[in-house]
């Protein structure tokens, strides 16, 4: 005991033990069960179920629409965070509160609202549809819904970082002759990049898992507006448990790889900007 | 003249931060802007650089009025208190940043950066990132970056505020040497009067947005124009006297009335070194008790208490102290050898009043 590292604030053993237990119950055991269950399938059967044309179309829409939505959130979320942190204007606090709205609103409600807005006879749809912009029951609708649910992530991750951003750095660039555009591109953007990537990753992950709002706005047309989570539900409803499971495993592995890649990217972008 | 301010004012909203300030800095001078925090000295520095616009008055840099010239075009080197280094760039790129904007050739940039790295003792650090440097090194990178585009003047905002006391001392000496080598006109802000006295050729003293005095360290120490300067630069005993019976008095201390009638008040100040002390109770006029001795290295500061309870601060070398054989609690006699009449903060006395008055040693015996 004497050579055990002394810590005046004990608790490591207990907290780690609880963490592992909690993680097992909530995350690891369900995932393991999913994998175990899929072992009842042969490799061929699994491939058939996981990579048939309908499934591939669903993956493409899920990941594609999620990426576009997360990217849109990265750009506009950065802008929104910048405006909220840097400027004081009437209604700032209200807008700030509004950012959390997608967190609190049941996503089904969001989907329903968006669908009725963009439908051919909806408030916005009646003006947009004649110009060929169809927001409801199209892939565009999926992107819209995913952008909505992912909106707070970039804003909320970026805000504290922007608040601590040293204004002196921008002023230093100005005294050295740099205009605003150059200052933004060469100094502000590289410094914020790791945080923007983190926000992007969170929004992306959230979008991949989204189901509730999509059901209403996409129309769930196979090969067109059907996302992978919807397809899983379809298969479950027709008692095709193994088929649903095969999709789930692919989705999970994909998400895992993507998140790992983004994590690595984030580390890479942040390596110059440690405190 | 490198920098000139004429009646420069700055108001934030309705609050006046800098009020009609005029002073100038000569070519190649090293000048300190000194004052307590919140006195407007940093605002003055920022107005010269163009980071802040004055609400009144004229600013000249090298004879050119710069009020309407944007910060990017003023060619002024500015060193921030927080260093404000570009964290995503190496030391080399930080220093080269201003040169790239001026479209210098690659080879010229490399040569200029190498020159500055040598000058500032940063050789071998060009590929480090700011987070890999110590506080003192970051400070030097910030100065190198500001100096790189050969600015017409160098401005430093509290340059040594964020480093510990020992490094601060080294950096002060280093700044003096650097200034000696480069001869670039330098203006720096500090709230530390010792730092200002030690480093600068001249000191500009501010208080609450007003300029109180401009002068060499010796001038502001020996001839403070008012009470604020007297108290801010070094230690000063300040007394408020009332003229009664043709003599200006405060407690048991008596001074000449300077021509003022009975009932008038006047303020005077005297430095601790102007207080003479003897262990012989008959040598000087006033009796006092040595309450406490503060050891400051070569010097000692003594706190004397007069019978009325008035405390007077005195100073002597430790040799004198040992020679007199003083100890706390001892009774002594004392005398004030020299004093100045002081104006209140913000007001300046007529030159004939604001002089130093010597008191003959035997004055006490006579009255």
Please name the residues in contact with A89: beta carbons below 8 A apart, sequence gap of 6 or more. Answer: none
Q: Binning pLDDT at 50, 70 and 90, where does residue B367 land? A: very low
pLDDT tens readout for residues B292-336: 988 888 888 999 998 888 889 999 888 888 888 888 888 898 888
Hey, are the CB atoms on A176 and B86 less than 8 Å from each other? no
The correct CATH number of B230-366 out of 3.30.9.10, 1.10.3720.10, 2.120.10.80, 2.40.50.100 is 2.40.50.100
Q: Is B332 within 8 Å of B290 (Cβ atoms)?
A: yes
Residue B264 has pLDDT above 90, yes or no: no
Q: Which residue of A has its CA nearest to B146?
A: A176
Nearest residue, CB atoms, A187 vs list B50, B75, B86: B86
**Distance of residue B99 Cα from the nearest chain A Cα, in angstroms:** 8
**Distance of residue A273 Cα from the nearest chain B Cα, in angstroms:** 5
Q: Binning pLDDT at 50, 70 and 90, where does residue B344 land? A: low
The DSSP 8-state label assigned to residue A5 in this structure reads: P
Q: Is B79 within 8 Å of B146 (Cβ atoms)?
A: yes
Sole residue written with tokens 């100073």: B315
CB proximity under 8 Å: B 45-104 to A: 49-51, 71-78, 80-89, 97-98, 101-102
The DSSP 8-state label assigned to residue A129 in this structure reads: G
Helix (H) or strand (E) holding A240, with range, is: none
Q: Binning pLDDT at 50, 70 and 90, where does residue B349 land? A: low
Q: Binning pLDDT at 50, 70 and 90, where does residue A112 land? A: confident
pLDDT tens readout for residues B202-219: 999 998 888 988 999 998
Helix (H) or strand (E) holding B157, with range, is: strand B153-157
Q: Is A73 within 8 Å of A151 (Cβ atoms)?
A: yes
**Distance of residue A157 Cα from the nearest chain B Cα, in angstroms:** 20
Two structure tokens written together for A240: 């095709």
CA distance B118 to A103: 55
Nearest residue, CB atoms, A176 vs list B88, B129, B149: B149
| ipTM for the predicted complex | 0.79
Give the pLDDT score at B363. Answer: 44
pLDDT tens readout for residues A148-160: 999 999 999 999 9
Hey, are the CB atoms on A169 and B84 less than 8 Å from each other? yes
Give the pLDDT score at A256. Answer: 86
Q: Binning pLDDT at 50, 70 and 90, where does residue A125 land? A: confident
Please name the residues in contact with B336: beta carbons below 8 A apart, sequence gap of 6 or more. Answer: B253, B270, B274, B275, B276, B359
Give the pLDDT score at A275. Answer: 44
Chain B residues within 8 A of A187 when measuring between CB atoms: 86, 88
- As a whole number, the mean pLDDT across chain A is 86
Hey, are the CB atoms on A179 and B149 less than 8 Å from each other? no
- As a whole number, the mean pLDDT across chain B is 86
pLDDT tens readout for residues A168-225: 899 999 999 998 899 998 999 888 888 898 899 889 988 988 888 888 888 788 888 8
Residue A145 has pLDDT above 70, yes or no: yes
**Which of B86, B96, B104, B128 has the highest number of chain A CBs within 10 A, making it the mutation to test binding with A?**
B86
The DSSP 8-state label assigned to residue A124 in this structure reads: T
Q: What is the CATH number of domain B3-229?
A: 3.40.50.300
Cα Rg, chain B, nearest whole Å: 25
> Of the candidates B241, B274, B208, which has an alpha carbon nearest to the alpha carbon of residue B342?
B241
Q: Is B200 within 8 Å of B189 (Cβ atoms)?
A: no
Residue B102 has pLDDT above 60, yes or no: yes
> Of the candidates A30, A102, A60, A80, which has an alpha carbon nearest to the alpha carbon of residue A208?
A60
The boundaries of every CATH 3.40.50.300 domain in chain B are 3-229
Question: Per CATH, the architecture of A49-270 is what?
Answer: Orthogonal Bundle (1.10)
Between A136 and A196, name the one with better pLDDT.
A196
**Which of B84, B100, B155 has the highest number of chain A CBs within 10 A, making it the mutation to test binding with A?**
B84
Q: How far is CA B311 from CA A54, B113, B239, B292, B314, in A?
A: 94, 57, 10, 11, 10
Handedness of CA B60, B65, B68, B69 (dihedral sign): negative
CA distance A213 to A242: 25
Q: Is B201 within 8 Å of B186 (Cβ atoms)?
A: no
Hey, are the CB atoms on B88 and A187 less than 8 Å from each other? yes
Q: List the domain boundaries for chain A.
A: 49-270
Q: Render B4-53 in DSSP notation, one character per residue.
A: EEEEEEEEETTEEEEEEEEEEE-TT-EEEEE-STTSSHHHHHHHHHTSS-
Hey, are the CB atoms on B78 and A171 less than 8 Å from each other? yes
Two structure tokens written together for B53: 């616009």
The boundaries of every CATH 2.40.50.100 domain in chain B are 230-366
What is the three-class DSSP state of A193?
helix
Hey, are the CB atoms on A172 and B78 less than 8 Å from each other? yes
Hey, are the CB atoms on A172 and B80 less than 8 Å from each other? yes
Chain A residues within 8 A of B49 when measuring between CB atoms: 175
CA distance A62 to A146: 10
């Amino acid at each position: 005991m004497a050579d055990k590292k002394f810590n005046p604030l004990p608790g490591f053993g207990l907290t780690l033990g609880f963490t592992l237990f909690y993680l097992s119950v909530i995350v690891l055991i369900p995932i393991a069960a999913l994998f175990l269950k899929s072992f009842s399938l042969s490799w061929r059967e699994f491939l058939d179920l996981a990579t048939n044309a309908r499934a591939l179309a669903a993956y493409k829409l899920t990941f594609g629409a999620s990426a576009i939505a997360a990217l849109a959130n990265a750009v506009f979320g950065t802008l929104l965070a910048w405006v909220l942190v840097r400027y004081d204007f009437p209604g700032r606090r209200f807008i700030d509160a509004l950012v959390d709205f997608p967190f609190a609103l049941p996503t089904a409600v969001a989907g329903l609202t968006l669908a009725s807005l963009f439908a051919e006879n909806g408030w916005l749809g009646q003006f947009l549809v004649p110009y060929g912009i169809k927001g409801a029951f199209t892939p565009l609708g999926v992107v819209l819904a995913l952008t909505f649910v992912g909106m707070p992530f970039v804003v909320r991750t970026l805000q504290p970082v922007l608040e601590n951003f040293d204004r002196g750095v921008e002023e230093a660039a100005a005294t050295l002759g740099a205009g605003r555009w150059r200052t933004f591109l060469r100094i502000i953007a590289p410094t914020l990049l790791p945080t923007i990537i983190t926000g992007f990753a969170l929004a992306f992950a959230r979008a991949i898992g989204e189901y509730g709002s999509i059901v209403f706005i996409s129309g769930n047309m196979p090969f067109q507006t059907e996302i992978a989570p919807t397809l899983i539900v379809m298969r479950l409803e027709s008692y095709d448990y193994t088929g649903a499971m095969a999709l789930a495993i692919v989705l999970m592995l994909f998400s895992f790889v993507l998140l790992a890649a983004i994590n690595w990217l984030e580390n890479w972008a942040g390596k110059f900007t440690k405190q | 003249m490198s920098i000139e301010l004429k009646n420069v004012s700055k108001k934030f909203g309705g609050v006046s931060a800098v009020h009609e300030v005029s002073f100038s800095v000569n070519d190649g001078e090293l000048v300190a802007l000194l004052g307590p925090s919140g006195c407007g000295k940093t605002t003055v520095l920022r107005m010269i650089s163009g980071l802040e616009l004055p609400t009144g008055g004229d600013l000249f840099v090298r004879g050119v009025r710069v009020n309407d010239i944007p910060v990017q075009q003023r060619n002024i080197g500015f060193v921030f208190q927080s260093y404000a280094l570009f964290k995503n760039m190496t030391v080399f790129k930080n220093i080269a940043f201003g040169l790239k904007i001026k479209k210098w050739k690659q080879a010229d940039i490399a040569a200029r950066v190498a020159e500055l790295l040598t000058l500032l003792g940063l050789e071998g650090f060009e590929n480090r990132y700011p987070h890999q440097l110590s506080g003192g090194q970051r400070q030097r990178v910030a100065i190198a970056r500001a100096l790189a585009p050969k600015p017409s003047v160098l401005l430093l905002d509290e340059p040594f505020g964020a480093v510990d006391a020992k490094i601060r001392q080294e950096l002060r000496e280093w700044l003096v040497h650097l200034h000696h080598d480069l001869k670039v006109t330098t203006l720096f802000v500090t709230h530390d009067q010792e730092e200002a006295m030690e480093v600068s050729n001249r000191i500009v003293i501010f208080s609450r947005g007003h300029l109180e005095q401009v002068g060499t360290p010796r001038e502001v120490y020996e001839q403070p124009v008012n009470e604020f300067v007297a108290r801010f630069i070094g230690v000063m005993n300040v007394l408020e006297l009332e003229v009664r019976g043709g003599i200006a008095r405060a407690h048991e201390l008596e001074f000449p009335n300077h021509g003022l009638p009975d009932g008038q008040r006047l303020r005077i100040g005297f430095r601790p070194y102007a207080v003479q002390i003897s262990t012989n109770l008959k040598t000087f006029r006033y009796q006092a008790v040595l309450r406490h001795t503060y050891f400051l290295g070569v010097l000692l500061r003594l706190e004397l208490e007069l019978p009325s309870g008035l405390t007077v601060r005195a100073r002597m070398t430790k040799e004198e102290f040992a020679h007199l054989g003083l100890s706390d609690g001892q009774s002594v006699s004392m005398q004030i050898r020299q004093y100045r009449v002081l104006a209140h903060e913000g007001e300046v006395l007529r030159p004939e009043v604001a002089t130093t008055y010597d008191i003959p040693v035997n004055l006490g015996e006579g009255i």
